[in-house]
Chains A and B, each alone.
Chain A
């Protein structure tokens, strides 16, 4: 990447920041804020997931598991044990990091379909556990989560949450772009390009795969914690298979190996069901169709396909 693309990379962050800064002027009521905030939360998960799927070339069909674990850690520690929310959040991140680290080595020895199934299994096991441990999690009926607070200040307005999520998203995007434009980032992409050639270049591919698996899990958990305090009520469906597929679809729709693509994919697939009630009733049908059509006709996703079309390069 030359100097000019570096400038255009930071340019993207500025554009995103500008959009986030100006958007509240156009959000007429609570409903619109809700859509924006939920889009941002999903986008944080997707940027992390994209690092794993799009850049490092792995796959996870169980990332909602990490998302929900972050959410439930915050909920359980804050509400059942009276911990301060910030401490619960950090604890949740540590817990997910530990779990991801422990499971990463055996699971990432697998490739392709097998890796997909193993991560699927992992996610479903997490959701079943959350469903069954009623004393801890409230089971399928869910559990309430108290508001996020720190040092006496409480986050309870739409606008406050908007800034929290918006700020987190900008930071996440910035960190991801930085990572990609570094030797570590290139190593991740090399793992995707050819594991054997990456190893010959001195890259310990297993270590890098584990690293990005854990990092993307932490990002999902962080988003989960925000989600828990924002919505104020959690159910185990947040860990469910469909939620994991939603995240993967957002990444795939927006464009694999495209940070901004993930943001766009998350926004589109969070906002669309909310705004088109037709879409909402037929949610499954629409999602399934989008997944199939995108992968058949536009396998690189929206943003990269758009870029190619503009540059008129063959896909």
Chain B
């Protein structure tokens, strides 16, 4: 394996892990409510920008990070309770516009309350590059991969081994049946948004040392996370993980071997290709309509 190829692979997997976290957030919310939350990217922004600004008030960095995640979670819950729940029975177009409106609103608010500059977080454990088979990986990259894997394992345990997690899956499959067995589906919804927000925020914190955070950083990251979810199959956790890595690596390869200018196009071309030829994605469920 050429060292150049390995380098592209490493950077692709690193950023792909972030896409996976964002994509997981999309899938969790979609599973719980059949809503595609266009504001998912803003949770990423809240993670990074939130940490920066909470820390700038003198708070130690780890506490600032926790605070940013908490902020994102609160906003996520607010979004569900104040906006989406009120439009529960509305048409798809209506709900789409609500979540897009929420994302624009949050972005604008961040730009006003905080600022519109680029900010960086210090790397978690220094910036000494590690040499591997002719390629280079920075410690932050290892943090990203490590935390993402830990998150994946934690979610697996949560959904398969805990009562609440199983309740969430049950609600996703059949909300009515879930209610009938006593599951509080409204709380499940809140939990989904909280979880998705936390995932997004964690992703935002992880990437901030490597790519400067900014009030508009949520737009592209959100859309690429969505691409990851679609490629993997909307609603599938493993799908989002695989999808994220696929999108990240394809992007890195395209940037390295074809043209770095068109790097951003990759995720959207993938969205179109998947939606045209395999709408259920890699791991998604096919559904049919009864007439």
Contact = CB atoms under 8 A, between A and B. Distances in A.
The reply to whether A and B meet directly (CB within 8 Å) is: yes
Interface of B: 36, 83, 86-87, 90-98, 100-109, 111-112, 219, 223, 226, 230, 261-262, 264-265, 268-269, 271-272, 275-276, 279, 291
Interface in A168-206: 196
Interface residues of A, number: 44
A284 B96 contact: no
Given A118-B271, A252-B97, A289 B261 contact: no
Contacts of B223: 120, 124
A196 B289 CA distance: 11
| Listed residue (A53, A61, A106, A114) with the most chain B CB atoms within 10 angstroms of its CB | A114
A310 B87 CA distance: 24
A110 interface: yes
29 contacts: A59-B92, A59-B96, A112-B92, A113-B36, A116-B96, A120-B271, A121-B269, A122-B268, A129-B265, A132-B261, A245-B104, A249-B97, A285-B109, A287-B108, A288-B101, A288-B102, A288-B107, A291-B101, A291-B105, A292-B98, A292-B102, A292-B105, A295-B87, A295-B90, A295-B94, A296-B87, A296-B98, A299-B91, A299-B94
A265 B174 CA distance: 39
Given A114-B275, A117-B226, A128-B264, A295 B98 contact: yes
Contacts of B90: 295, 299
Interface in A239-297: 241-242, 245, 248-249, 252, 256, 282-292, 295-296
Contacts of A252: 93, 97
Nearest to A289: B105
A299 B226 CA distance: 26
B103 A288 contact: yes
A114 B265 contact: no
B268 A124 contact: yes
Contact of B268 (A59, A125, A299): A125
A77 B255 CA distance: 30
Given A113-B96, A132-B261, A295-B97, A284 B111 contact: yes
A51 to B, nearest CB: 14
Nearest to B276: A106
